[in-house]
Structure 1
Amino acid sequence: MSEKATYTHGHHASVLRSHGQRTALNSARFLLPYLKPHMKILDIGCGPGTITIDLATYVPEGHVTGLDMVGDILPGARERATAREITNIDFTTGDANALAYADETFDVVFCHQVLQHVGDPVAVLSEMRRVCKVGGIVAAREADYAVFMWYPELPGLRRWQEVYDQVARTNGGEPNAGRFLHVWARKAGFKEVECSVSSWCFAKPDEVKWWSETWQERAVKSAFAKGATENGFATPEELEGIATVWREWGEDVDAWISIPSAEVVCRR
């Protein structure tokens, strides 16, 4: 693998649980109107495969390939596909900087929350463009951590935001990728770039509880926690404090969080 950046979240069970809540409807709705039954799709950075599997239901006469750098998480993705009886799908390992596919292989090349974690997002988008058919679509969706919004405004959550930014940048990524996404696409050679924004909003009690519990664990056990302590951005005690603040946030009856992401649909 030629990727030089380090994936900030890692693949702790708490991270996979969080990513496993993503679906085509809540994470790729902007792409769905462009899909046609016969299309061949590549989903880069597929993780646990939940979005990938959903996309396969939109192309029943086509095929979807989920690609990830980490092979250890793909057996779970295959099991999920089998459980849903989705057969027009496969999962494989690969490097988005050097895709092992010929030019113009796919009708759609998609990635979700990936470009913020790579060292050269323009190079990855260029590779996505290369393997996309002329007339096809390259689509991406990326969050922007600096514009997350929440209530109540607990000081420890701003500290979490600061530490996350430090860890992500030290890992070689861009945590505010959303605001750069359309620029990266044009630098990668795309002339037609359609932009949009959508947001996850967690406000119902079960949603708040889930997000709170996820970050209580991620703050002290995930790769983020390791990066924070090893680089001296936060002590283990401070991370425990951040986990406690996420718990306090989750216990507030008025707790609410919005996580905006920029989206691009690029015509090859």
Structure 2
Amino acid sequence: MPTEVEYTHGHHESVLGLHSWRTVQNSAAYLLPHLKPDMTLLDIGCGPGTITTDFATILHEGHVTGLEMSSSNVFERAYAHAASRGVTNVRFVAGDALALPFPDGTFDVVHAHQVIQYVGDPVRMLREMRRVAKPGGIVAAREADMDGLVWYPDVEGLKEWQEGYIEVARASGGQPRAGRRLHAWAKEAGFADENVTLSASVWCFCTPEDRAYWSSLWADLTVSSHFAVSAKKYGICDEERLKRLADAWRKWGAREDGWFTLMSGEMIARV
């Protein structure tokens, strides 16, 4: 495993397209019953800010901070998205998820969606999330488990893609089976078992629009994002294999009977 962890996807346009699709409703619904309008919330790994801005509309009497490892053009998108919705109680800052740039006990809620699996030290990140949460506050996380993929029909190449993705993620220092391990990492990070609530949910892609979106997204990501760079760097895939795996996604997307689900583990941990 490398000493420096690489974000498997990078910030290619296809990756930002995936992030921009995410909302509180499709990616953080498990957290909604625990939110109150006057809360403060930190959204770690905010990307282009769609989930973050959703949180800000829900916490309209409070304030939301989105944190990303690099400001770059991601923050331009995030602020533009917030402005387009008339949301002003949100800010975006650059920072490291393993060394959060905030004092102890700053936020009522500390949230991460599909981030812990990429940081290389999940327990350290959860400890940081716990540190900046107020006493009695919430640490919330939702993480995919890449073994938890189910699709139909069995298009040749998709199983190979799944196995290749897991191999690349692990070679990059990530934890592609994070969803099933959240509670174990939380215990190591100092959360008491009785303060941890677990659940799971899925993304399901089965309509013609969903299939077109999901298949083209992963076809592009497979050959054009940092995933492709890492796959070649670690000798897992060459250019020809990457193109073949991308074609498998396109073939699946063209099937009228196509169906795909991705399972994620979810955790609410009280401080």
- TM-score of Structure 1 vs Structure 2, range by shorter chain: over 0.9
CA distance in 2, matches of 1:187, 1:122: 6
TM-score by length of 1: 0.98
* Equivalent residue number for residue 109 of structure 1: 110
Name the structure 1 match of 2:163: 162
Aligned-partner Cα distance in 1 for 2:208–2:157:
21
Report the residue type matching 2:184 in the other structure: V
Separation of aligned partners in 1, 2:156 and 2:70: 35
How far the C-alpha of 1:208 sits from its partner, in A, is 0.6
Q: Residue 183 of structure 1 corresponds to which residue in structure 2?
A: 184
Cα distance, 1:246 vs structure 2: 0.6
User: 1:155 deviation in Å?
Assistant: 2.8
User: Which residue matches 1:90?
Assistant: 91
* Inter-partner Cα distance in structure 1 for 2:130 and 2:219: 38
**What's the CA shift for 1:232?**
1.1
What secondary structure does 1:139 align onto?
A: strand
Shift of 1:75: 1.1
Q: In structure 2, what is the Cα distance between the partners aligned to 1:228 and 1:162?
A: 12
| Aligned position for 1:197 | 200
Partner of 2:40: 40
Aligned-pair identity in percent equals: 53
Deviation of 1:196 after TM superposition, in Å, equals 0.2
Q: Is residue 223 of structure 2 the alignment partner of residue 220 of structure 1?
A: yes
**What secondary structure does 1:265 align onto?**
strand
Task: Please state how far the C-alpha of 1:19 moved relative to its aligned partner.
Answer: 1.2
Q: 2:146: which partner in 1?
A: 145
Stretches (4+) displaced over 2 A: none
Structure 2 residue aligned with 1:135? 136
The gaps in structure 1 that reach 5 residues or longer are none
Map 1:117-128 onto structure 2 (within 5 A).
117-128=118-129
Tell me how far apart the structure 2 counterparts of residues 149 and 53 of structure 1 sit (CA, whole Å).
30
Structure 2 gap segments, 5+ residues each: none
SS of match in other structure, 1:260: strand
Give the equivalent residue in structure 2 for 1:211. 214
Partners of 1:118 and 1:173 within 8 A in 2: yes
What is the Cα deviation at residue 175 of structure 1?
0.3
Structure 2 counterparts to residues 242-257 of structure 1, below 5 A: 242-257=245-260
Give the C-alpha shift of residue 98 in structure 1: 0.8
In structure 1, the residue corresponding to 2:269 is in which secondary structure? strand
CA contact (8 A) 1:201 1:257 kept: yes
Q: CA deviation at 1:4?
A: 3.1
CA distance in 2, matches of 1:182, 1:155: 35
Question: Alignment length, in residue pairs?
Answer: 266
Corresponding residue of 2:29:
29
The residue number in structure 1 matching 2:232 is 229
User: Which SS does the other structure have where 1:150 is aligned?
Assistant: strand
TM-score of the superposition, structure 2-length normalised? 0.97
The one-letter code of the counterpart of 1:134 is P
How well do the aligned residues superpose, as a CA RMSD in angstroms?
Answer: 0.9
Offset of residue 154 of structure 1: 1.8
Mapped partners of 2:37, 2:237: distance in 1: 49
Asked if the contact 1:194/1:265 (under 8 Å) is kept, the reply is: yes
